[in-house]
Structure 1
Amino acid sequence: MARIGVDVGGTNTDLILETTELDSIGRKIFSHKVPTTVEDQSLAVMRGIMELCAKAKIGFDEIKQIVHGTTVATNISIEHNGANVGMLTTKGFRDILHIGRHKRPFNFSLHFDVPWQSAPLVRRRNRIAINERVLPPHGEIQTPLDDEEVRNAALTLKARGVEAVIIGFMYSFLERSHELRAKAIVQAVMPQAFVCCSSEVVDVMREYERFSTTAMNAYVGPRTSSYLTHLSTQLRDNGIHADLRIMQSNGGVATVESCCDRPVNILMSGPAGGVMGGHYFAGLDGERNIITVDIGGTSADISTLVDGQIKIMNPRDSYVSGHPVLVPMIDLITIGAGGGSVAFIDAAGGFQVGPRSAGSNPGPACYNRGGVEPTVTDANIVLGRLDPDQMLGGDLQVDPQLSYKAIEEKIAKPLGMDVHQAALGILKIVNNNMALAIRSNSVAKGIDPRDFVLMPFGGAGPVHGPALADEVNAKSVLIPPAPGITAAAGLLTTDLQYEALRSLLCNLNDISELNMARIEQALQGLETDIRKQLENDGVSAADMQLTRIAECRYDGQGFELRSRIPAGAVDRAAIAEVMAQFHREHQKDYGYCFDDATVEVVSLRVIGHSQSQKLAWSALPEAQDSDTGDAFLYERTTIFDDGQSLSTPRYDRNKLQAGQYIEGPAMLMQHDSTSLVPPGWVAKVSAHGNLIISRS
């Protein structure tokens, strides 16, 4: 049998296939890349799967599982081309989505954009107020729902061509019956519409964030669910009956059905795979403090892992395309910096790189597909850091003269510099942009990069690694064995995972027996929901692993931190452990805590997962000596950051063995990427094939 990981990027779609001992060809790993088809990602996915199976010489019937990381939902939110959404909400709260939190993106600017107003997920005319009222704190119904009013509102939205409808009532997290009843009525009137309730998507207090998250779910819902359903159908039509799993923003995978219901959970599906892959490969050699930098053709995704732990973003920071989204996401930053990032001179005469990308079509100028603008890839070609006849092992034909011409005409001549200076400038700018993002995800959060290993991957990552490490003072660079497919490989290291959430507000310091019973009851309800989801996916009770979380804050704080709830009964000892854990988390995140302050629990979360088979990456044979002559390919001139032009040897990375080292200047070549070792640096091959580059 075989498993396939498919990661869709802005430029390329990366694939990895792992076979097992029971397979027709024995245990092996194969990788492949195809250009991403932006108009329909499934075209590249299907092409890649078919070509990869042909490469591995296995039949479609031998594929057991496909794990897919997709940017469909992300792209919809960024490009503002989602569904026409309608909303039913409690009378008097129609404009919550417009008002927001009155946060100013730029405090002292008179001209700034407020995304939730300039690009609303639900236009005001499609937000219809309904007479209903649930009262806090226990959810008593004051004003019953008027079914006829809901039916008329649904008819109005249907007449306006609305494709998706959200139901968001005040205090539905205390009593959800009104939302569920309204949903049933809307579905009866609009059977083709995508309909969801806030209590089903994110069952917590804070009406603005709850409504915004639900609106985003509906905004990306129709197209995302259509894509996932279409891909499932294409697989079956081509005789591939593998289980299809989708990467979620939290680092776990879920079924297609679950992601069709809650596509908001896969908004960061693509970048999450890279973090999981970085975590896996670093862990093979015992590296626990790493900064992952996934540099593809369009963007760079950056995440910091402390002590081997993948951090989930604080809810207050969870924004997608300017809209708050209260779903668990891996803590990462994405910026427009990649191999396809376009260099240009702006209206003020400034030298800029990105965030606009040439993508896969037309791509960098050297691709000879009609692109005439210089990109980061073109700069690396001109400086000899990428060999034009070795791109994708020679499979990608490029023209270095087109790179030279684009940089000369668009950058060098207008700025009065030579082409090599302009190319170095392009790399200096894009590296500085990435370094700023790395610092914001590390230094700005109290993390010292000097204690961390920088881990660049993606097709464009390894050639930028040492320069980025210098910029942020990382202690060394670690490049995984297959940099170009690390995100795809990460998909085969994930577990099936679901989360359930419910608001429950109470003081923990002097908690009453009644409130402990409420917490116990709520946790049991959440556990039942999670067990049902896992059971529906064929997971046995013995294979289910549940984690209970209390999301806590100090009295008066605005947002929460996670604290684990011990297994067993919720008694005073368990509550004391929750509070102690919260203090420790606060100390870790903010550098201080208040041991004697009042702690509140705001919501409860249960995370259920079932461990899956992990990618088995074999260790390299130990080198018998330090002679790397067998790996030597040829020498070519390469220009480095200090302007030196040096004859630089090229080595075949696949022929290097564990324990061998290469002194810079050198370039290590492989099919999916090129690793740069500058003068004064040395690269050593680890036991599992990771490349560790540090100053000699």
Structure 2
Amino acid sequence: MKTIGVDVGGTFTDLVYCDLATHKVAIHKVATTPDDPSEGVMLGVTELCAQVGVPLSGIEHVFHGTTTATNAVLENAGARAGLITNEGFRDVLHIGRHQRPQHYSIRQEIPWQDRPLIARRFRKTVGGRLVPPDGSELEPLDEADVRRAAQELKAAGVDSVAICFLFSYLNPAHELRAKEIVEEVMPEAFVTASSLISPQFREFERFTTAALAAFVGPKVRRYIGGLEGALRRAGVPGDLRIMASNGGVATPAMVRERPALTLQSGLAAGVLGGGWVGAQCGRDRLITFDIGGTSADIGIVVDGTYAETDARSTSIAGFPLLMPMLDIHTIGAGGGSIAHVDRGGAFRVGPQSAGAVPGPAAYGKGGTAPTVTDANLVLGRLEAQDFLGGAMALDAEAAETVIARLAETLGLPRLEAAEGVLTILNANMANAIRSRTVQKGIDPRGFALVAMGGAGPLHGAEVARMLSIPEVIVPPHPGITSAMGLLTTDLKYDAIKTQFQVSSKVDMARIAADLDAMRNDLSERFDADHVPPETRSFARMGDLRYVGQGYELRVPIPDGPIDTAAMDEVWEAFHAAHAREYGHAFRDNPIEIVNLRLVGTGTLDKIEHMGATASGSVEGALLRRKPCVFRTEGGLETLETAVYRRDALPAGARLTGPAIILQKDSTTVVPPGATAEVHPSGSLILSLGDIA
């Protein structure tokens, strides 16, 4: 089976080809086309197929990680969306929970108030009310109100509508009927309902999740439809699969129906790729560290399990989100991050980025701001004539000019300023990793850092040293690890049902019935997607808390009948999870079940390994020696540094730093005092020596 994985980043679009039968792998990178990312995707697919000598008609699957939804939210560039809700609840999206993101700031930004997803004039209310505990009807839906609201939104030029009613997670009837009416009045609009996206309690978060879906829906639908059409016109017969935020892939039909699934699409693929690389090296406690042109993304893998977000911390651009997502922390730190002096006179790097256009000054596209890439070039850590495998030459003079200007502003020597850019960036990234590990009770010293992305291997060793992490793994193709991650996953769908029950009086028949109903729903979805029954599997989980608590912890529900023994296992799993998370458990306290969850997986063929490594010797891989600048115990020093070709390094090859290792999609820096060894899987293992 011949497959292609495509990940669209802020600067480059990364592609990987894999023949799953022969394990042949090839990679390619093209510039991202921000106005229409599908243009860069199609260019990359066409060029990659030509590179490996496979016709477009021979590609059986295309897996895609997209930033379309993410960027629409981050750039506040989504659709003109409307909301239809119950009378008296027009301002749920504005009021929120009266929780301040920064408790003591009087000038903070409240995202849902400062840049609302749906303007107040486009929020309409209608009659009708459902009530707990079972979602019974207190007041019938006023269908005339719904029709009037839809007509007003249509006249206002709204092209997307979210329907959000109270207690629709208990009974979706009103929302679904309202959706039918709106679609009759606005057949060209994107229409969604909160019960279809996130049927669970917490009104503000559920309303905001539906609003996010409406905000990004038209753009995602157009993009996916356009890409699907472009692939067909080019003669690619294979199925298109889109990476979802939960770490699985979804069909285009599923994504068009539920576009919010892709809000962390590309980021999830990176964590999966990092986890796969670590497993190939026999490591299962990993910190994935993906640095691109504009951002750095951090994920945690513990004993082979990917960390997921919870209701307390799931968000995008500050907006709360009630959807299953891998726990990925992103900061504005990448190769294009701009070094500057802020209004208070502090030396900072990022979060502003030079992006793809004009990019760093070294790209020669008109950039005039000093960036991390420029600093790396000035320090000798990048090769001006061997960037992207020689496909792109860097402008060393332009980099020197912008770094010299920064140095003058700072009153520092040129090399001190350049090295300062890297130190600040590395410190920012180390602090971000601390926030996901140390501050959560996780000791990073027991993990390996997987340095990936175009810039990850440039900075991985120095960031690891700041955190006393002893080992860095650099994947065989670090710059396209996200694209590689797309080829390691399965089709994955989630179902959820809010169900409040207490352990002292639990209705096991009701739990079993709801789990069976969710399984039937997911089976129907798999049938529609032509997923063979023998490839399907289901995992049951519950969101639990002690009675009186405000947030839940997720625990597994064992397979088999729901009986007293099974529930005792669930209660014990919750006590253990609470002790891990908070350091204590209250075994005599009653436990409340809040949500039931079911994860359905359709197993797909996937990449198994990267193929054979090179044959040869370390001496044969040596290109030259040159001066590079590093900070050592004696201060800033210019050291003779060996430069190697990575594709010529055989398995078992061992290098001593300082060294620079070149390849098409990235550059690896082995600092003084560190060693690098080529693992049989093709990854580089950097050992950092004495890090105490």
Please, what TM-score do these two structures have when normalized by structure 2?
Answer: 0.97
**Shift of residue 580 of structure 1?**
1.2
**Shift of residue 545 of structure 1?**
0.3
**Shift of residue 519 of structure 1?**
1.0
Deviations 1:419-470 (A, max 9, x none): 1111001001111111110000111111001111111111111010111011
Deviations 1:286-311 (A, max 9, x none): 10111110001111000111112101
3-state secondary structure, aligned to 2:245 = coil
Look up the equivalent residue of 2:18 and give its one-letter code: E
Which of 403, 407, 410 matches 1:415?
Answer: 410
**Gap regions ≥5 residues in structure 2:** none
**Shift of residue 565 of structure 1?**
1.2
Q: What is the aligned partner in structure 1 of residue 560 from structure 2?
A: 568
Which of 160, 172, 177 matches 1:181?
Answer: 177
3-state secondary structure, aligned to 1:640 = strand
Q: What is the aligned partner in structure 2 of residue 636 from structure 1?
A: 626
Q: What is the aligned partner in structure 2 of residue 502 from structure 1?
A: 497
3-state secondary structure, aligned to 1:463 = helix
Q: What is the aligned partner in structure 2 of residue 531 from structure 1?
A: 523
Q: What is the aligned partner in structure 1 of residue 14 from structure 2?
A: 14
3-state secondary structure, aligned to 2:488 = coil
Separation of aligned partners in 2, 1:585 and 1:687: 37
Separation of aligned partners in 1, 2:20 and 2:534: 24
Say if 2:234 is the partner of 1:238.
yes
1:315–1:326 contact (8 Å) kept in structure 2:
yes
Deviations 1:517-559 (A, max 9, x none): 1111111111011111111111122221011111111111112
Q: What is the aligned partner in structure 2 of residue 673 from structure 1?
A: 666
Separation of aligned partners in 2, 1:91 and 1:115: 24
Say how many residue pairs are matched. Answer: 686
Q: What is the aligned partner in structure 2 of residue 436 from structure 1?
A: 431
2:23–2:610 contact (8 Å) kept in structure 1:
no
**Shift of residue 581 of structure 1?**
1.2
Look up the equivalent residue of 2:383 and give its one-letter code: D
Q: What is the aligned partner in structure 2 of residue 612 from structure 1?
A: 604
Q: What is the aligned partner in structure 1 of residue 247 from structure 2?
A: 251
Q: What is the aligned partner in structure 1 of residue 364 from structure 2?
A: 368
Q: What is the aligned partner in structure 2 of residue 61 from structure 1?
A: 57
Please, what TM-score do these two structures have when normalized by structure 1?
Answer: 0.97
Separation of aligned partners in 1, 2:122 and 2:63: 37
Separation of aligned partners in 2, 1:57 and 1:220: 37
Separation of aligned partners in 1, 2:615 and 2:573: 46
Cα RMSD of the aligned pairs, angstroms, is 1.3
**Shift of residue 677 of structure 1?**
1.0
Separation of aligned partners in 2, 1:62 and 1:310: 33
1:449–1:475 contact (8 Å) kept in structure 2:
no
1:16–1:488 contact (8 Å) kept in structure 2:
yes
Q: What is the aligned partner in structure 2 of residue 650 from structure 1?
A: 643
**Shift of residue 597 of structure 1?**
1.6
**Shift of residue 509 of structure 1?**
3.3
Say if 2:340 is the partner of 1:321.
no
Which of 83, 91, 98 matches 2:79?
Answer: 83
Q: Structure 1 residues 620 and 20 mapped into 2: Cα distance closer, same or farther (>3 Å)?
A: closer
Look up the equivalent residue of 1:417 and give its one-letter code: L
**Shift of residue 20 of structure 1?**
3.9
Look up the equivalent residue of 1:390 and give its one-letter code: D
Which of 162, 165, 183 matches 2:161?
Answer: 165
**Gap regions ≥5 residues in structure 1:** none
3-state secondary structure, aligned to 2:550 = coil
Q: Structure 1 residues 89 and 618 mapped into 2: Cα distance closer, same or farther (>3 Å)?
A: closer
After superposition, residues 196-207 of structure 1 pair within 5 angstroms as: 196-207=192-203
Say if 2:37 is the partner of 1:41.
yes
Deviations 1:355-412 (A, max 9, x none): 1111121111011111111110000000001111110111111110100001111x11
Separation of aligned partners in 1, 2:305 and 2:508: 30
After superposition, residues 229-308 of structure 1 pair within 5 angstroms as: 229-308=225-304
Which of 419, 422, 433 matches 1:424?
Answer: 419
Q: Larger deviation: 578-587 or 543-552?
A: 578-587
**Shift of residue 616 of structure 1?**
2.6
3-state secondary structure, aligned to 1:315 = coil
3-state secondary structure, aligned to 2:196 = helix
Which of 656, 664, 670 matches 1:663?
Answer: 656
Separation of aligned partners in 2, 1:317 and 1:666: 40
Deviations 1:8-65 (A, max 9, x none): 11110000001244xxxx5411100001111111011000000000101110111000
**Shift of residue 623 of structure 1?**
7.8
Deviations 1:258-291 (A, max 9, x none): 0111111110001111100000010012101111
3-state secondary structure, aligned to 2:312 = helix
Q: What is the aligned partner in structure 1 of residue 583 from structure 2?
A: 591
3-state secondary structure, aligned to 1:191 = coil
Separation of aligned partners in 2, 1:631 and 1:622: 10
1:464–1:676 contact (8 Å) kept in structure 2:
yes
**Shift of residue 621 of structure 1?**
6.0
Say if 2:2 is the partner of 1:2.
yes
1:623–1:660 contact (8 Å) kept in structure 2:
no
Look up the equivalent residue of 1:275 and give its one-letter code: V
3-state secondary structure, aligned to 1:633 = strand
**Shift of residue 510 of structure 1?**
3.3
1:623–1:659 contact (8 Å) kept in structure 2:
no
Deviations 1:671-693 (A, max 9, x none): 11111111111111112111111
**Shift of residue 347 of structure 1?**
2.0
Separation of aligned partners in 1, 2:292 and 2:327: 19
Q: Structure 1 residues 182 and 358 mapped into 2: Cα distance closer, same or farther (>3 Å)?
A: same
Say if 2:450 is the partner of 1:455.
yes
Say if 2:574 is the partner of 1:582.
yes
Separation of aligned partners in 2, 1:618 and 1:158: 52
Separation of aligned partners in 1, 2:646 and 2:326: 31
Q: Structure 1 residues 594 and 620 mapped into 2: Cα distance closer, same or farther (>3 Å)?
A: farther
Deviations 1:583-634 (A, max 9, x none): 222222222222222111111111101111121324646989xx52111111
Look up the equivalent residue of 1:7 and give its one-letter code: D
3-state secondary structure, aligned to 2:595 = strand
1:332–1:441 contact (8 Å) kept in structure 2:
no
1:619–1:687 contact (8 Å) kept in structure 2:
no
Say if 2:388 is the partner of 1:395.
no
2:23–2:607 contact (8 Å) kept in structure 1:
no
Q: Larger deviation: 154-163 or 612-621?
A: 612-621
Q: Structure 1 residues 621 and 227 mapped into 2: Cα distance closer, same or farther (>3 Å)?
A: closer
Say if 2:200 is the partner of 1:227.
no
Separation of aligned partners in 2, 1:347 and 1:621: 51
Q: What is the aligned partner in structure 1 of residue 69 from structure 2?
A: 73
1:543–1:610 contact (8 Å) kept in structure 2:
yes
Separation of aligned partners in 2, 1:486 and 1:139: 46
Separation of aligned partners in 2, 1:157 and 1:360: 37
2:6–2:14 contact (8 Å) kept in structure 1:
yes
Q: What is the aligned partner in structure 2 of residue 520 from structure 1?
A: 512
Separation of aligned partners in 1, 2:470 and 2:461: 10
After superposition, residues 19-34 of structure 1 pair within 5 angstroms as: 19-21=19-21, 27-34=23-30
